[in-house]
Structures are given as structure tokens and as C-alpha cells.
Chain A
Amino acid sequence: MTSWLLLAEAGASAAGTPEGGLFDLDATLPLMAVQVVLLTFILNALFFRPVGRVVEEREGYIAISRSQAKEKLAQVQRLEADLKEQLKDARLQTQKVIQAAEQESDKLYREAIALAQAESNASREAARREIDNQRSAALGQIRSDSDKLADQIVDRLLAAS
């Protein structure tokens, strides 16, 4: 402090005036210090605190929204995987159902065809049997008729002779 005062005096004497000079220390110093301290409190109230609050709120908001978005993304991915699984199951099931239905219809078709074939075979067999019966009956009839005719012929011929 003394060295500064000496410098101040030197400055004052160099300027050639009883007061003044570059290094003229006086009550400006403490008053300026008080003024700067006051300015610190004023700026703290008007600037640093409110702006800091806004910036930090925004940072918090961004962090929270980010984590929420990440959570949602994870949820979406989980749901997507879930749905894919379900979709695969559903596809498998449909395939199974389709296969079963195809087999069923095939079976039904075959059964129906077999049934129809059996029926047609049976009716053909019946028809043939009927035909055979009728033929044998007709043959019998013819034979008996021919026998009767032959008898008659023989009788007529015998009667005539």
C-alpha cells in the first residue's frame, strides 16, 4: 500500500499539480468496491439467478424429455417385438388352420369320392345282378316256353298223324 502511495505522490508531483496524477488513490477505491459489490447483488437478482433458473429448467426439461423419449422408444421396441412375435404365432396358426382345412377338405373329398365310387360300384353290381337275374329268368322262361312249344308241336304233330 505504501509503495502505491509513493507512486501516487510521484505521479502527482510529476504532473506538477498538488493533487491528481495517474496513481491518485483516494476514497474512489472503497466506494468503487462497494459499488461493484452492490452491482454483484443486483446482477445476481436480476440476471444470474433468473437466467440460470430458466437455463437449468430447460436443461432439466430436455433431460427429462430425452429420458422419456428413450423410455417410449424402448417401449415401442418392446411392443414391436411383442407384436412381431404375435404376428409370427398368428401366421403359424393360420398356416396350421389352412393345412388342417386342406387336409380336412381332402379327406372329405376322398371320402366323398370313395363313397360315390362304392355307391356306383354297388349300384352297378346290383344292376348287373338284376340283369343276370332277368336274363336267367328270361332264359328259363324261354326254355320253358320252348319246351311248351315243343310239346305242343309234338302234340299237334302226334295228333295230326
Chain B
Amino acid sequence: MAPPIASALHLRLPLAELEVGKHLYWQLGNLKIHGQVFLSSWIVIGALLALVVIGTRKLERNPGGIQNLLEFIWDYIRDLSREQIGEKAYRDWLPFIGTLFLFIFVSNWGGALIPWKLIHLPSGELGAPTADINTTIALALLVSLSYFYAGLSRKGFRYFEYYVDPTPIMLPFKIIEDFTKPLSLSFRLFGNILADELVVAVLAFLVPLIVPLPAMFLGLFTSAIQALIFATLAANYIGEAVHEEHH
């Protein structure tokens, strides 16, 4: 019973099948890159930079218009990083945390809100850059590098005391943590965004009217939450690395 249904679904859902795992390959020397990821990331980065450039063109002490929005975002990111990293070190890491948050947020929302289907690519299709595993692993590895750098630059080799912090029994778990942190960060973001896009695509294919709308709103909500989670966890890891024990 099951195989015929599966094959029928396979036939009936060419869209859903088309979504997954097809890429627009660009050849760069002997390296291959996913063109659609870069195209969509340039579009969302361009939108982000345009907003920032327009909003900061004339900064005043009495804010108005876009400056209000930007200051609200800045304040939000500052509160987030100050809360997670701590008063002493948050200033160094605010731009990184803020960039992670903004990039993931505009990528997720751009993937959900921009009508990418209007642009036809020879292979693959445009979507949220964060729905590609390469992007999320890149972001997660950057987080790993930055918390190592944060800990080492602030505490030197005393950073490694963190691994045996309450007792040396913790050592293997803390070493495993260094691998699970980027793994969970990247797969959480990738899985959520890709699943959201697939759910919306499948629903839109099955019932093109109204029914996908709740899933789309839920997707917007999830996208925002995922950006917040990623930025908060990144800040938390950095905060953990720079945290000084108070004896």
C-alpha cells in the first residue's frame, strides 16, 4: 500500500521534489559554489545595507523615521548581548552578534516574503540563504571561532580552566560540547527554515488558496524566533568563554 502512495505523491509533487537538493552551481576555479544561495544572500544583504545606509544618513539627537527603527534594533541587540556576554566584554562582540541576528533575520524573512518564484534560474531556485546547510554551518563555525578567540584573547591559556571547571570529570563533556554547539546551531537553523519553506511549498502546491496562510504566518514567527535563538546562543557561548570566576 505504501509504495504506490509514495510514488503517487512523488508524481503529484514535482514541486516538492524540485525544491530539495538542486543547486545552481557556479564554477570558481576548481571550486563549486551554490549560486542561488549567493544571489539571494546578496539581495537580502543589499536590502539590509540599503536600510542601514538610508537610516544613518542623517543621525540626529532627536531621532525620527528610520533612525528610530535602527536605534530600536541597536538597543535590542545591545540588551541581548549585554545580558548574555556581560557588561565588561559585550562591546567587542555587539557588532558580531548584531550582524548574525540581522543577517539571519532578513534572510529568513526575505526567504518567506520575497516572491522568489518570479525569478527563474536554470537549476535550483532562490530562497532563504539560511535554508542552505553551507550558510548555517558557516555561521555556526564563525560562532565557534569567535568564542574560542574571545576566551583565549581575554584569559589566555586560563581559558582552558573552563574545561575542568567544577571537576575534571567534565572535561570529555566540555570537549564534546565544542562539537555539538556548532552542530546544533547549524542544524537547528537549517532544519527550521528549510522545513518551513517545504511546508509552505507543499501546502501551496496542494491547496493554492488560503490554507498555506497560517503556515506562512507560523513560518514568519519561526524565522524571527530562529534568528533570535541563534544570536542569543552565540552571545551566550561567547559570554561563557569570557566569563570570569569570582572567587
Contact = CB atoms under 8 A, between A and B. Distances in A.
A33 B138 contact: yes
A50 interface: yes
A24 B134 CA distance: 8
Contacts, number: 130
B120 interface: no
A39 B99 contact: yes
B32 A11 contact: no
B134 A47 contact: no
Given A32-B134, A32-B138, A27 B52 contact: no
Contact of A43 (B21, B23, B52): B52
A40 B142 CA distance: 11
A19 to B, nearest CB: 7
B34 interface: yes
A61 B61 CA distance: 9
B35 to A, nearest CB: 9
Nearest to A31: B33
Interface in B1-41: 20-23, 25, 28, 31-34, 37-38, 41
Interface string B210-242: 000000000000000000000000000000000
A11 B134 CA distance: 14
Contact of A22 (B77, B137, B194): B194
Interface stretch (B68-76, B147-155, B200-208): B68-76
Interface residues of A, number: 41
Contacts of B70: 47, 51
B34 A54 contact: no
B31 A40 contact: no
Contact of B61 (A31, A42, A57): A57
Contacts of B41: 32, 35
Interface centre among A19, A23, A47, A61 (most CB of B within 10 A): A47
A109 interface: no
Interface of B: 20-23, 25, 28, 31-34, 37-38, 41, 45, 48-49, 52-53, 56, 59-61, 63, 67, 70-71, 74-75, 77-78, 94-96, 98-100, 102-103, 129, 132-135, 137-139, 141-142, 194
25 contacts: A4-B133, A17-B21, A19-B23, A22-B194, A27-B28, A27-B32, A28-B37, A28-B132, A29-B134, A29-B135, A30-B138, A32-B138, A35-B38, A35-B45, A36-B99, A36-B139, A40-B95, A40-B99, A46-B49, A47-B74, A48-B98, A51-B70, A52-B74, A58-B61, A61-B61
